[in-house]
């Protein structure tokens, strides 16, 4: 039998144990071992960003990450954004702005937006565009996506300002 590696990590806030083949991608693990199919496989080579997840609060392409590299870390997927209070403000903003067309790029877009807004609540429109370079929307609905993220950034700024 081929090698299986036991790993432990926090997945969407819960401690998790799983065994994975050493060459499995984090994306395959999330989809096939945990049934978390919100994280999408599209290009499979780091060009499109549909597989974006947060690892230790940093966005990465899960298709280019080894599942074993999740060991000991905090992993968050699109499924982990929803809380008891409901959807994340970024998810609300995407709905409000009509920033979703076919929806396939949306989980990756939202996870990258989450990373951007967490890192810099005052993120500018230009910075949003630069940092979405690794996320492709083949419906080409970029303007509304940028609008949605900019809206969240500005509302967070208003909350922070006394």
Partner 1 sequence: MIEQYAAPISIEEATRVMQESNATVLAGGTDLMLQTESGKQQFGSTLVNIRHINEISGISIGNNRIRIGALTTISEILGSDKLMELVPVLAQTADHFASSQIRNNATVGGNLCNASPAGDMIIPLLLLDAEAELASWSKGGVVTRLVPVAEFFSGPGKTHKRDDELLVAIEFPVPSFGFIAYFRKSGPRPALEISTISIGVAGALEKEALHATRMAIGAAAPIPLRARRVEALLEGKPLHSALISEAADLAADETLPIDDVRATAWYRKHLIRVFTIRLLNDVIASSD
Kindly write down the DSSP assignment for every residue of 74-133, as one continuous string: EEE-GGGS-BTTBS-HHHHHHHHTT--SS-SSHHHHHHHHHHHHHH-TT--HHHHHHHTT
What does the per-residue mask of binding to partner 1 show for 106-125, with x meaning CB under 8 A?
------x--xx---------
User: Binding-site residue total for partner 1 (CB under 8 A)?
Assistant: 33
**Min separation Cβ 157 and partner 1, Å:** 21
**Min separation Cβ 142 and partner 1, Å:** 13
What does the per-residue mask of binding to partner 1 show for 69-108, with x meaning CB under 8 A?
x-xx------------------------------------
**Min separation Cβ 65 and partner 1, Å:** 6
Q: Identify which of residues 83 and 113 has a Cβ nearer to partner 1 in the complex.
A: 113
Q: Residues 129-145, buried b or exposed e (16+ Cβ, 10 A)?
A: eebbeebbbeeebbebb
**Is residue 120 within 8 Å of residue 109, measured between CB atoms?**
no
Query: Using CA atoms, how far apart are residues 23 and 25, in angstroms rounded to an integer?
Result: 6
Which residues in this chain contact partner 1 in the complex, by CB under 8 A?
A: 2-3, 5, 22-23, 25, 44-47, 49, 52, 55, 58-61, 63-66, 68-69, 71-72, 112, 115-116, 130-134
């Amino acid at each position: 039998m081929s090698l299986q590696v036991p790993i432990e990590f926090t997945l969407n806030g819960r401690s998790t144990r799983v065994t994975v083949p050493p060459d499995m991608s984090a994306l395959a693990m999330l989809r096939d071992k945990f049934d978390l199919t919100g994280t999408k496989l599209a290009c499979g080579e780091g060009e499109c960003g549909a597989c974006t997840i947060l690892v230790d609060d940093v966005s990465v392409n899960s298709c280019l990450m080894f599942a074993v590299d999740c060991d000991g870390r905090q992993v968050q997927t699109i499924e982990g954004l929803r809380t008891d209070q409901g959807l994340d403000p970024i998810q609300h903003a995407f709905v409000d702005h009509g920033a979703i067309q076919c929806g396939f790029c949306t989980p990756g877009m939202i996870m990258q937006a989450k990373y951007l807004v967490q890192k810099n609540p005052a993120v500018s429109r230009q910075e949003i565009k630069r940092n979405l370079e690794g996320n492709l929307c083949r419906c080409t609905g970029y303007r509304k996506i940028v609008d949605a993220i900019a809206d969240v950034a500005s509302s967070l700024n208003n909350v922070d300002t006394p």
